[in-house]
Amino acid sequence: MTPEQRPALLWLLGGITLFATMDAAAKWVARSYPLTAAVWLRYLIPTVLLGIWLLRQRGWKFAHAPRPGVQVLRGLTLVSSTLCFWTALKHLPLVEAATVSFVTPTIVMILSALLLRERPRRAHWVALGMGFAGVLIALRPGVAHAGVGAIAALGSAVMYATYLVLTRKVANEADSLTLLFHANAIGAIALSAVAPATARLPDGLAEWLILPAIGVVGPLGHWFLIKAYARADASTLAPFMYVQLLVATFWGWFVFDNLPDAFTLLGMVFILGSGLYVLHDGRRQGKLAKTDEAAAAPE
């Protein structure tokens, strides 16, 4: 990773920390609130808030963005990913649901090569292999009761990886707030046909606090992500997405009293090692580039 790309890493880490926090909140509220209605509110709240702000700042053309077809696909893949993952949260502990979904970076690498014609370095593939091995190690104790939860988490990973690659495709063609509005508005519109029938007023202080918070934290995390992918290519950032698993583990312990076992901890070592390996390789590449520039400079 070059020095110019390091701000992208900070945006990414901030975004995935917010995502893990939102997932913990979603698992908490999903125990009592209808799933489809909760996801609908998660997209409707930021659509209204961000839409009002953009309208006041930019006028009626605030929602204009290039490639409307890609924007629609971004929104549909994002809301599909959320529906799948929140379904997984109902059937699996937070850490295990997050672990299964972390095949996302590998899918991102494959789709980036196929759709964006990005050319990952060997270090990226090695790091992703290390991270994926860590996921498999951490998941091993939960395979026996994975079932619907694991399938839903895998579906979420495929949809989310597609969303990330599509975001990279248009990240430099529109500003981040416009892209964020489109992703949320399309999700809200898509669910408006069915979600209102199951929605109800929150019951109790926890639901009144958590449901609106999810509608703010989730979009803020995606805005961070858009900023990250505008500054670095998908293959460079993909290995660092595994850090979200560490944050999910913390919330799983802090909120749900679910401590990771030895398999999970060993998997974490692989996951952290993958990110450190990419950082080391980036520094080495930077030093080699400076050496080549010095050698090519006229005397």
Per-residue pLDDT tens digits for 209-226: 999 999 889 888 888 988
User: Exposed, middle or buried by CB within 10 Å (0-12, 13-18, 19+), for 175?
Assistant: middle
Q: How far is residue 287 CA from its own chain's centroid?
A: 31
The pLDDT value given to residue 134: 78
pTM reported for the whole predicted model? 0.76
C-alpha angle 169/174/179, rounded to 5°? Answer: 80
Q: Which two tokens stand for residue 239?
A: 């290995």
Q: Single out the residue of 93, 88, 99 nearest to residue 137, CA to CA.
A: 99
Please tell me the distance from the alpha carbon of residue 126 to that of residue 278, in angstroms, as a whole number. 9
41: how many CB neighbours lie within 10 A of its CB? 21
Q: Which two tokens stand for residue 81?
A: 């990913």
Q: Which two tokens stand for residue 17?
A: 């920390």
Report residue 193: phi and psi, to 5°: -75, -25
Q: Which domain holds residue 117?
A: 3-296
Q: Single out the residue of 210, 197, 204, 207 nearest to residue 37, CA to CA.
A: 197
Which residues of the chain have a pLDDT value below 70? 1-2, 4, 118, 139-146, 235, 279, 282-283, 285-299
H/E/C letters for each residue in the chain?
A: CCHHHHHHHHHHHHHHHHHHHHHHHHHHHCCCCCHHHHHHHHHHHHHHHHHHHHHHHHCCCCCCCCCHHHHHHHHHHHHHHHHHHHHHHHHCCHHHHHHHHCCHHHHHHHHHHHHCCCCCCHHHHHHHHHHHHHHHHHHHHHHHHCHHHHHHHHHHHHHHHHHHHHHHHHCCCCCHHHHHHHHHHHHHHHHCCCHHHCCCCCCCHHHHHHHHHHHHHHHHHHHHHHHHHCCCCHHHHHHHHHHHHHHHHHHHHHHHCCCCCHHHHHHHHHHHHHHHHHHHHHHHHHHHHHHHHHHHCCC
The pLDDT value given to residue 96: 79
CA distances from 207 to 109, 197, 226, 253 (A): 37, 18, 29, 21
The domain total for the chain is 1
